[in-house]
Chains A and B, each alone.
Chain A
Amino acid sequence: DAGVIQSPRHEVTEMGQEVTLRCKPISGHNSLFWYRQTMMRGLELLIYFNNNVPIDDSGMPEDRFSAKMPNASFSTLKIQPSEPRDSAVYFCASSLVAGGPNEQYFGPGTRLTVT
């Protein structure tokens, strides 16, 4: 299995531009998580999908952020318009089911820099 796939691996954009991050979870996993990691705040959960349905988006910082999961094998996180404070590493993770001993498998991350 290829593991969780994220693209792009690096993104540099100017303030005000739209940014779209992509994720392909591990086949058969029905839980998908988007996280943001910064030095100051660590790893924060942005949104959680179960069976392609958004269950908890309380971690999405503001309306500029949106996420979709149109099918079991693809999810996007969009920031529009982007701001310098959005600069961070964004991870997608998937698991067979959420919680308990079910391991979350993290993708390689997308390092976003907004100038």
Chain B
Amino acid sequence: QKEVEQNSGPLSVPEGAIASLNCTYSDRGSQSFFWYRQYSGKSPELIMFIYSNGDKEDGRFTAQLNKASQYVSLLIRDSQPSDSATYLCAVLSGTYKYIFGTGTRLKVLA
């Protein structure tokens, strides 16, 4: 069973701090990795994807990928209360099958 593991949290950070969310995956052959944000009672929305080892930055968000260690992380700089949500890590297995982690709940304290 191919798995994606995330700490369920909650991860609490003060407003303005950096939030660091981590994810590990079991399928060493995976090539594509995604971070989704899901507000309570809402549907997931894609915020970033990454394919290559290293960092990818988009505004306040930075995704980091280390294929050798099989982990993906998401950094949120200058965290805002509006960033409070559950963050889902997803790994593409094959050409269409997204394997999702159970998510990390982030709370940004004003």
Whether chains A and B associate is yes
Residues of A within 8 A of B (CB): 31, 33, 39-45, 48, 50, 55-56, 91, 98-101, 103-104, 106-109
A interface footprint on B64-108 (CB within 8 Å = 1, 0 otherwise): 000000000000000000000000100010111111111100000
Inter-chain contact B95/A109, CB cutoff 8 Å: no
Residues of chain B within 8 A of A91, CB atoms compared: 43-44
Q: Is B45's beta carbon under 8 Å from chain A? A: yes
- Chain B residues bordering chain A, tally (CB within 8 A): 19
Alpha-carbon distance A107/B97, docked complex (angstroms): 18
Residues of chain A within 8 A of B43, CB atoms compared: 91, 106-109
B20 to chain A, nearest CB (A): 20
In the complex, besides A42-B100, A98-B95, A103-B46, 16 extra interface pairs with C-beta distance below 8 angstroms are: A31-B96, A40-B102, A42-B101, A42-B103, A43-B100, A45-B99, A55-B96, A56-B96, A91-B44, A99-B32, A99-B94, A99-B96, A100-B92, A106-B43, A106-B45, A108-B42
